[in-house]
Amino acid sequence: MAKKVLVLAGGFSAEREVSLVTGKCVCEALKKAGYEVIFYDWRNGFDLVEVLKKERPDVVFNALHGNWGEDGEIQGFLDVLQIPYTHSGLRASVLGMDKFLTKELAQLNNIKVPQGEKKTFAEFKLYGTQVPMPYVLKPVSDGSSVGVYIIRKTQDLAQVSYEDDREILVEKFIDGQELTCMVLEGKAYVVTELRASDDFYDYHAKYTDGVTKHILPAEIPAEVADCCKNYAEKLHRVLGCSGVSRCDFRYNPKDGVVLLEINTAPGMTNLSLVPEQAKYIGTSYEQLCAGLVEAATCRKIV
């Protein structure tokens, strides 16, 4: 009897529309792979409880992105209900979503990260920063490059808009090649270079066809590719990630390989990097989705 999979998409974050696309792509793939599939657009917590009670899925495929989907909230909820789910568990999700905590753990494990500091936007406006220009401003907890600004000159600050109590990172801007590396079941295989026609690989560049060129494998020295893969595997392991994760880097000869962030629930749309790298190593999209379903788990009650 085929497993029943509830594909959980939508949600409440700034990445809602991307999540819906991911969810629909996953649904098609899992149906082709022979699973009984239910697509659910999450808009209300009480409704989700009723749907789970009614459908009693064997597995929840977590196709959510951003807050509530990648930050441990939905993971803890499904742990309590004892419903297995795809991707990383609560601990890894909390740590991976918090870019400051990720940087702290990376540094403790000899993974190079940009110079930077954490503060609220109100503190930034009042006291400024010790990080020299050019620097990057980004939310401590958000994904898909939502709310990221590159500040090259004082005038650029006019475009910056956050709520005063929003925690942000101020980081040294690392010039060079944009690189990314998937880790699937603990193993990194290949590095992709991203060449965006926009100023940098932002939300628009990630999800607009034709805006970014993917160079697979990346045109980098072998030792640089090995460093990316080593860093990605190490951080996946240190955070306790499950299933699949993806690390993003910048590289130039002066700074070397520098970690930007980890994605514990990376995108799975037709423009996404994880399916592309999986295909490169001989794993089809259907196989990738099915593998995540079969590896799904939840925290056990003992």
Q: Are 160 and 153 in contact (CB under 8 A)?
A: no
One-letter amino acid of 122: A
Q: What size, in residues, is the chain?
A: 302
Q: Are 232 and 84 in contact (CB under 8 A)?
A: no
H or E element, residue 215 = strand 212-215
Residues annotated as part of the active site: 15, 144, 207, 246, 248, 261, 263, 267
- Exposure b/e, 21-52, CB count within 10 A at least 16 = b: bbbbbbbbbbeebebebbbbebeeeeebeebb
Between CA 267 and CA 154 the distance in angstroms is 34
At residue 139, φ and ψ (nearest 5 deg) are -60, 145
Query: Would residue 55 be called left, alpha or beta, if left means φ above 0 and alpha means ψ between -120 and 50 degrees?
Result: alpha
Instruction: Tell me, rounded to whole angstroms, the distance of Cα 289 from its chain centroid.
Output: 16
CA distances from 30 to 38, 162, 173, 187, 206 (A): 10, 39, 40, 23, 24
What is the β-pairing status of strands 149-151 and 187-196? Answer: unpaired
- Using the structure block, give the residue that is written with the tokens 């070397």: 256
